[in-house]
Chain A
Amino acid sequence: MRAVDRMIEVEDLRVYYKSVLGDYKPVDGVSFTVNANEVFGLAGESGCGKSTFVEGILRLVKPPGYIKSGKVIFKDQDLLSLKDISDLRWKEISYIPQGSMNSLNPVLRIEEQMIDAVTSHVDIAETEAREMVLSNLKEVGLPIDVARMYPHELSGGMKQRVVIAAATLLKPSLVVADEPVTALDVVVQRSIIQSIAELRDKFGMTVIFVAHDLAAHAELVDRIAIMYAGKIMEIGSVHDVFLDPLHPYSKLLIAAVPSLKKKVVKGIPGLPPSPLNWPVGCRFHPRCPQAFAKCSEELPSFEEVETGRFVACYLCR
């Protein structure tokens, strides 16, 4: 394995939400590394903390949320301790938000919003910035006259592509995409997945792709992390995790995804736990068919059982 340079390293990140009933802990100690020029998938069901995690590393957490602890090393700087990272934003790290349907300012033309991003980071003339915007729109497969349009004139799929175009304007090295395909039709979804793949192949960017649809991960990502109840259960290459999942939750989750090939699909009994008080020990033990005494007493540590494969479960020591 050649020495792959690391793009971003997350160490024991915790993002909590204050509330009258006590602290909600959606992200409760997450660590992993994303290598350069790869699409890193973060999978998990709703309520597992994926979106809060993204807001954490991008420092977009709004009160009553706060970053409890942890480090995010990006180009050997800790993003969380930097005083202000707005100059890094968009030049180095860009973000495709979850609600991209209404991430565009309804009263500004598309080009005005994109030029905004350019001129506030790079001091070039507006005309030159417009050139950049127009060429970028072409690269993402959008016609030029979209630039003069207002957001309400575009369909959902087109708005998503405009957001992707905006995110890649300044050719950042890392793009964080939070559920970019959730609310889209299957055909548009496929084109969005393909244009994200192009970011890696054509522009050599690194992408963190967050989605709950495992099939979308299978089509796109190189390495995948399965997240549950605020912690990472398993990390590995997409082939290893899909074909030979180690963690019981990964096994059940992959089995639960319907597909044209499988006639029988089995769900996971029980209910996802509440972030107000996570279960003691391994957080999946109440729903895990292979759980035994130790699972409910002590939280399994996150170990590298094989090169590049991490898992937090006593069964796979």
Chain B
Amino acid sequence: MTNVEQSLLELENITKVFKIGGGLGLMGRRSIKALKDVSFAISGRNPIITTLVGESGSGKSTIAKLVMGLLEPTQGQILYKGRDVRLWLKNDRMTYRREVQMIFQDPYSVYNPFYRVERVLHLVVRNFGLASSSSEARNLVAESMEAMGLRPEDLLGRFPHQLSGGERQRLMLSRIFLMKPSLVVADEPVSMIDVSLRSIFLDNLLDLKKRLEMSCLYITHDLNIAHYVGDEMIVLCEGTIVETGEAESVVGDPLHPYTRLLVSSIPIPDPREKWKTSLGVEDITLKKFEAEQGCVFSNRCPHRMEICIRETPSLISLEADRQAACFLYGKEE
């Protein structure tokens, strides 16, 4: 199946339902639909950063866990280079782990407190046989630290609690540098780091993308960062994709009402451009969208039409490979 146009990563109609509560499993199992029929793809041609943007609870972190095989989808499948992730993990687990990596959100809990920080790198060198001798392994580790602007003599031998959040996240980047994966899933990597240190991390990430020819699925709730880092952008609302397209155009001229609300709510660090209008009570509704049918944004949408409640809009492509799931744009064909 050598299809030139083969995508690096493809999600096909992914639905994920979580069961919560219920002790003996007999009764009282309430289920929450985290993802509803999500499909998107990351092209394999040249390395790009696709950003996945959405509010908390929109299911973006679930997608990260699904791609990494830490969770199983309830319906649908995820293809990496055309082959289902479950098959990858069953038959060539190590190759998949080598090629698809992840950066976690919380730098304070990603290190096992029992070990020194560099173990994170040595673990990878050992498991994937990146070095033939222990001295070579040590050089590799030191080199990967320097590549990310960290001084090995400051870090080697230290325990996680002796490092700052920023240092710990950049050490995670050194780990990626070591493994040279073709896809990295970054789940809100800078949300717990100070503003002043964020851009250093983001610049390192962009640099890795070029040096390693590496694509990245960047997950965040912060539109500024998504716009700063991302080439493509996918907007997620309560487990459904509502809009996709070039990062620049999605933010510059948002099509879907939800994206418009998100973009207009970003505080601008310039006192001259304060928000003019104020949000209605509709915009911050109290109830989550629970219905089976209908648009996920219908209970908060200012342009709500009768059809929006009855039917679920599908993702239709509009001009210049932009897509939106909204009846405002008329029923195509």
Contacts and interface: CB of A to CB of B under 8 A. Distances in A.
A219 interface: yes
A242 interface: yes
B271 A242 contact: yes
A194 B278 contact: yes
Interface string B248-269: 0001000000000111011111
B262 A187 contact: yes
B196 interface: yes
B286 A155 contact: yes
A242 B224 CA distance: 18
A272 B265 contact: no
B166 interface: yes
A81 to B, nearest CB: 35
A239 B271 contact: yes
B68 to A, nearest CB: 24
Interface in A240-273: 242-243, 252-254, 256-261, 263, 265-269, 271-272
Given A143-B286, A215-B266, A260-B227, A190 B194 contact: no
Contacts of B202: 265
B164 A219 contact: no
A166 B283 CA distance: 22
A4 interface: no
A141 interface: yes
Contacts of A216: 267
Interface string B185-200: 0000000001111111
A253 B268 contact: no
B221 interface: yes
B1 interface: no
Contact of B194 (A212, A258, A265): A212
Most buried by B among A45, A242, A254, A265: A265
B329 interface: no
Interface in B188-244: 194-200, 202-203, 221-225, 227-228
Given A155-B286, A258-B224, A272 B281 contact: no
Given A271-B164, A271-B167, A157 B284 contact: yes
B274 interface: yes
B269 A186 contact: no
A132 interface: no
Contacts of A45: 194-196
A190 B265 contact: yes
A71 B196 CA distance: 32
Q: Number of contact residues on B: which range applies?
A: 35 or more
Contact of A256 (B56, B198, B222, B288): B198
Contact of B284 (A46, A187, A254, A261): A187
B275 interface: yes
Given A256-B198, A271-B164, A214 B224 contact: no
Contacts of B221: 185-186
Given A260-B266, A261-B268, A272-B194, A158 B279 contact: no
B200 A269 contact: yes
Nearest to A240: B271
A177 B224 CA distance: 25
Contact of B268 (A141, A155, A215, A256): A215
B268 A219 contact: yes
A61 interface: no
A252 B268 contact: no
A275 B55 CA distance: 34
A17 B164 CA distance: 20
A286 to B, nearest CB: 13
Interface in A155-204: 155-158, 185-191, 193-194
B319 interface: no
Contacts of B278: 194
Contact of A186 (B55, B195, B288): B55
Contacts of B271: 218, 238-239, 242-243
Nearest to B55: A185
Contacts of A271: 164, 166-167
A271 B150 CA distance: 12
Interface in A292-317: none
A194 B275 contact: yes
Given A157-B284, A218-B271, A271-B167, A256 B196 contact: yes
Given A143-B286, A253-B195, A186 B266 contact: yes
A212 to B, nearest CB: 7
A20 to B, nearest CB: 15
The list of the 10 closest CB pairs from A to B, nearest first, reads: A215-B267, A268-B196, A267-B199, A185-B55, A258-B224, A190-B265, A45-B194, A215-B269, A267-B200, A257-B269
15 contacts: A45-B194, A156-B56, A185-B56, A186-B221, A186-B266, A189-B265, A212-B194, A215-B268, A218-B267, A256-B196, A261-B270, A267-B199, A267-B200, A267-B203, A272-B194
Interface of A: 45-46, 141, 143, 155-158, 185-191, 193-194, 212-216, 218-219, 238-239, 242-243, 252-254, 256-261, 263, 265-269, 271-272
